[in-house]
Amino acid sequence: MASRYGGVRNWVKGLLAVLTVYVCIVPQQVVWHTVISGLFLQFMFGLFVLRWKKGFQAAEFLGNQTVVFLEYTIAGSEFIFGEEWYIHGFVMYVSIYSVTHSNIVTNCNP
């Protein structure tokens, strides 16, 4: 049964995450409410996605829509920089996605 959930490796990763927070430079300044809330939300989201078919379908739909949106950015980059914009490789891909992400975050927050 343990292999179904990743076994010992996942427990070690979780223990390392907790240990990292515990031995940080100033542990008194850690806002534990935020840490616990984030872990709880992550657990609930994982439970929703992994346990129920509708949750998996919703996550798959959002992932597919994200891919479609990012393909639009690639088409826009091809329009702006020409058909061989990708010869610069990794730098162009990362810069396009980071500019698109920062634009969305900036425009979505009032």
pLDDT tens string, the chain, 110 residues long: the values are 445 556 667 778 778 877 777 777 676 777 888 888 998 999 999 999 999 999 999 999 998 998 888 888 888 878 877 877 777 767 777 777 787 778 777 877 66
Per-residue pLDDT, 4: 58
Per-residue pLDDT, 25: 66
CB-neighbour burial class of residue 68 (10 A; exposed 0-12, middle 13-18, buried 19+): exposed
DSSP symbols for 45-70: HHHHHHH-HHHHHHHHHHHHHHHHHH
Taking a C-beta distance cutoff of 8 angstroms, is the pair 73, 80 a contact? no
Q: CA 49, CA 62: separation in Å to the nearest integer? A: 12
Extract the tokens encoding 74: 């690639």
Every domain of the chain and the residues it spans: 2-52, 61-108
Q: Is the pTM for the entire model greater than 0.75?
A: no
Q: CA 40, CA 55: separation in Å to the nearest integer? A: 17
Per-residue pLDDT, 58: 93
